[in-house]
Structure 1
Amino acid sequence: MSMKFNFPSPDLQIGFALELKKFRSVYLQGALLETIQNLDVTEIDRQLAEYVCKDDLSTLAKFGLRGELLFPVPIVVA
């Protein structure tokens, strides 16, 4: 006996994923940058050195990016 499955169209999920991607780049990135602006950069750097692999930080630096943009260290999350 063979069964036939009817899967719903993925259009809704794809649309949601695309909208979420736009939302993240516009709103969440701005909130992160605003939060970082009010923090002690030397403490951010200390925590990045403690929690993040040096090679990963070097890879980001190669592209001119700081570690807190990708790695959620405690001072940024709190």
Structure 2
Amino acid sequence: MASQTIKVPSASRQIVFHQLLVAARKTWLMDALSDALGHVDPKVLKRQLSKYVPTDAQQILAAAGVRDEHVFPTPIILETKPTLVGCYRLLFGVSQKIFVSVQAGWSHIHEGHA
């Protein structure tokens, strides 16, 4: 039986992909949300969550131990860190066009708010 040499591919693609994921976490994902939450007025955030998040959704999230702002965007969060739009769009699985459309109900985030 002839000895075969296994050619191991370069890890450069995986390293680059890992670096992109780390950058994404800081810009669009939970690390970015945590950073934004550390800079917002909690009273304003709670007021906006009460205004924009349906009570039944709040109850379901509370029962699951999930914070409302981890699922629902509010104006104060998006003003503090606009790149989080990408995080919420990813969470909802919708395109930018749908996300900001009147039919989807998210267009009010860009209009006047409390």
Q: TM-score range by the shorter chain?
A: 0.5 to 0.7
Q: Does residue 55 in structure 1 map to residue 51 in structure 2? A: no
Over aligned residue pairs, what C-alpha RMSD do you find?
2.0
How many angstroms does 1:66 deviate by? 1.3
* Structure 1 segments (4+ residues) deviating >2 Å: none
TM-aligned CA deviation for residue 38 of structure 1: 1.1
Q: What letter matches 1:65 in structure 2? A: V
Q: What's the CA shift for 1:34?
A: 0.8
Structure 1, residues 16-50: CA drift from partner, whole Å, max 9, x if none?
Answer: xxx8xxx4xx7111100110111111111100100
Q: Which has the higher contact order (CA 8 A, sep 6+)?
A: 1
The aligned counterpart of 1:33 is 34
CA distance in 1, matches of 2:35, 2:65: 19
Where is the helix percentage greater, Structure 1 or Structure 2? 1
Q: Calculate the TM-score normalised by the size of structure 2.
A: 0.45
> Which residue does 1:13 correspond to in 2?
none
Corresponding position: 1:77 with 2:78 = yes
Q: What's the TM-score once normalised by structure 1's chain length?
A: 0.64
Identity %: 35
What amino acid sits opposite 2:62 in the alignment? A
Specify every segment of 5 or more residues in structure 2 that has no aligned partner in the other structure, as ranges. Answer: 1-16, 80-114
What 5-or-longer segments of structure 1 have no aligned partner?
Answer: 1-18
**Aligned mates of 1:37, 1:64 — CA distance in 2:** 19
